Structures are given as C-alpha cells and as structure tokens.
Structure 1
Amino acid sequence: MEHIKNPSIYKQPVILQSEDLTKYILETAVYPREPQPLKELRDATESHPWGFIATLPEAGPLITILLKLLNPKKTIEVGVFTGYSLLLTALNIPDDGKITAIDIDRKAYEVGLPVIKKAGVEHKIDFIESPALPILDKLLEDAANEGTFDFAYIDADKENYVNYHERLIKLVKVGGLLIYDNTLWGGCVAWPDEKVPPHSMPMRNAAIEFNKTITKDSRVEFALTSVGDGLSICRRVA
C-alpha cells in the first residue's frame, strides 16, 4: 500500500459500524473461514507501526467471491503494504495467474513475503517498488497492454485515485473489475466540514472527489459499499 511519511494523516476518525457489530461480523462470518495464510499475514502486520492501513479482513470474503466469479488470470494491484489483499488475490486466481503489484515500500512487502512464500503463491506475483503512476504510464506506452487486465485492486494514496482510475480503466478489459478501498474514509465523507478533524480533511476530500468522479463515469457500473472502510466496486462496460 503506497503511503506518505506521516501515519497520523491516514488514521480514520471513526469506524463505519459500531464496534459490537464489527466484532459480530468478524467472529461470525470472517475469522471462521479466513484461510490460514491470511490469518498469519494479518498477525504479522499487527506489530507493524503502519498496521492500521492494511486492508480490513471483513472486506476479504466479498473480494474472494468476486475473484472466484471473475476467475482472473492477469491482475494488477496499486498499493501493497504488507500484502493482505495481494495474498488474498494470489490465493484465488488460477495457478498460472499473474499479479503486477506496485508499491513504494518493499520493506513493508517483505513483512508478508515469508507468508506468501509459505503459501506457495510467490510465483504469481511481480512486485515493483515504485510510485504507481510512472509504471501505469509505462504499461500504456505499449498499446498491446490496453484491455488485457481482468482485475485491479487499488489501496494507495487517495489523492491519486482519480489519476489511477484514468489509467487503469484503459488497462482493464471490458467486463473486468476495479476495486478501490477506503472510499468512505471512516464515514467522514458524510460529515460537514466543521466536524472533520484537520488531519483527515485531505483524504476525506479526495474520497469525496473520487466518488463523484466515478458516479459520473459512464465507462463503469459502480457500487459504493460500506464493507470495511468502503469499497468502490467498478465493472468496466465501455
């Protein structure tokens, strides 16, 4: 997962559900079915100082179902962090499937790498340590890459979500899926400005702008869900 140097700016002010409801969801429908490698990676991430920015486990079952329905062989992930969503994808695509995984911080990726290797899916992953936009632009330099990816997962710097989308919509095929994480930003997208903590304002505003942009984008079918910290699920139709 791409991030900036100050962790406090990424701390969402609230959770979308009550703690009791979140606990119920996790204990009833997530943890009992969570694959052991994902549990191990989640445990390894908890001690990381940036651990709170990882993809929330309650998003895992929905993403898993979507992956199994889509059965993608060529995927891309923008923002990896320690690799929870990356491992989830790797576990749910065919053995000959490939993931282009882009993040600015290889050290964070290496926290989860032993678990990825143990799970036997490292061969599916091409990790690239870099800001994402130059890599996406390089892919688009070759017209043969357009429309060749089946699935994209984006959990990176929110201010660039619109920029990522404009590139990824060309790389993902018609009928493919793009999933963006943190698009409700702790629920504060619905708050009046005066109630939003100053450190949350940039990310909250970026999420609002992105959601408005996607709502108007006729190239995708779009569902804004309250799963985890908000998943925007887009299916390319044009």
Structure 2
Amino acid sequence: MGMLLKLVNGKKTIEVGVFTGYSLLLTALSIPDDGKITAIDVDRKTYEMIGLPIIKKAGVEDKINFIESQALPVLDQLLEDNEGSFDFGFVDADKGNYWNYHERMMKLIKVGGMVIYDNTLWGGYVALPEEAVPEKKRAMTKSILEFNDSISAYSRVEISHASVGDGMLICRRIR
C-alpha cells in the first residue's frame, strides 16, 4: 500500500474504517510531511488505545484528521467542496456498504488516483459454493461477491485484485 501511495504521489488521502489504525499509520508514514489524511470511523476507542500511541511515537499525528462518525454522511459532506481532490483512499469498513462508499469515493478521488478495498476475498468464502459458507458468513459473503462483480464491470476504473491477506481490490480511477 505504501508503494501505491508513492506511485500516485499521494498527499491528500481518505480512509474509511480505521479500527486499530495500522493502515492509517502506514499511510501517514508514506505520504509527504505536508500530506493529510481524513480518517473516518464510528468508534475512536480502539484507535486511541492501540494505534494512536504508536502514531504519536512515529511523529505523524498531525497528518491525521480523525472523524468519529458513520462514513456515508461524512463522505456526502466532503463531496460538497472536495470533489476530485483526494489522491488516494482506503476502505475497510462495513462491507455491506462497499458499493455506497465506492460511488462516493469515485467522486472524491481525482482521475489517476487509487482506492483500495480491503477484505474482498473474505477469508476465501467468496470462492466457495454458498452451501459451503457458514450460515453466519453468507450475507456478508454475498455482499462482497456483489461488490466484486459490480466493480469488475465498472467502466471508470482499472482494477487489480491482490490476494494478500484477506484480499485487496485496487482501483485506479481512469475517468
């Protein structure tokens, strides 16, 4: 992810879903000193307990604007005066809203910018027949499969699916 940030000269980035702040730290370390990250998560607690002390120790806290909120209202608000102004985005929030996030991210990210969606292989469940997926995982598996199918037909991006960890879908906005 750090390499991709550098390839797009990422300076103004957005992260939807922070959790512990691991990817946020990686982003903050990869962007220039004057770079900024808008980080959105519904829960600040885990981030403050686990990630923030490390981010402070790394000296990159000033690059981060953490917004504790549901993501969709914040993204809608950002669209009012930030359309096409972000270089890079990372989405690792509620998977059932990935398409809603994507529609907004494609307006926020500039042409040539990238968005990475995490967990798009969903523990390998997306490759299994439905009856082989545990019942409690089926709804989310279906959502991720629908997202993967929809984005593969989306004409405004070039995509690459990296089978690293739980899968990352890399989207480069082309128009």
Class of the TM-score when normalised by the shorter of the 2 chains:
over 0.9
Provide the residue aligned with 2:152 in structure 1.
215
Which one-letter code corresponds to 1:234 in the other structure? C
The whole-number CA distance in structure 1 between the counterparts of 2:37 and 2:24 is 8
| TM-score normalised per structure 2 | 0.98
**SS state of the match for residue 23, structure 2?**
helix
Provide the residue aligned with 2:166 in structure 1.
229
The whole-number CA distance in structure 2 between the counterparts of 1:203 and 1:182 is 11
Question: Pairwise mapping of residues 1-238 of structure 1 onto structure 2 (< 5 A)?
Answer: 63-111=1-49, 112-142=51-81, 145-238=82-175
| 1:54-91 deviation line (CA, Å, top 9, x unaligned) | xxxxxxxxx12111222211000000001000000000
Which one-letter code corresponds to 1:129 in the other structure? E
| 1:146-177 deviation line (CA, Å, top 9, x unaligned) | 10000000000000000000000000000000
**SS state of the match for residue 65, structure 2?**
strand
The whole-number CA distance in structure 1 between the counterparts of 2:73 and 2:46 is 20
The whole-number CA distance in structure 1 between the counterparts of 2:6 and 2:80 is 30
Decide which structure has greater helix share: 1
The whole-number CA distance in structure 1 between the counterparts of 2:104 and 2:7 is 24
The whole-number CA distance in structure 1 between the counterparts of 2:7 and 2:107 is 22
| Deviant stretches of 4+, over 6 Å | none
**SS state of the match for residue 126, structure 1?**
strand
Unmatched tracts of structure 1, length 5 or more: 1-62
The whole-number CA distance in structure 1 between the counterparts of 2:119 and 2:140 is 9
The whole-number CA distance in structure 1 between the counterparts of 2:80 and 2:172 is 23
Count of aligned residue pairs for this structure pair: 174
Task: Quote the sequence identity (%).
Answer: 70
Offset of residue 202 of structure 1: 1.6
**SS state of the match for residue 194, structure 1?**
helix
**SS state of the match for residue 97, structure 2?**
helix
Unmatched tracts of structure 2, length 5 or more: none
**SS state of the match for residue 110, structure 1?**
helix
Which one-letter code corresponds to 2:59 in the other structure? G
Which one-letter code corresponds to 1:170 in the other structure? K
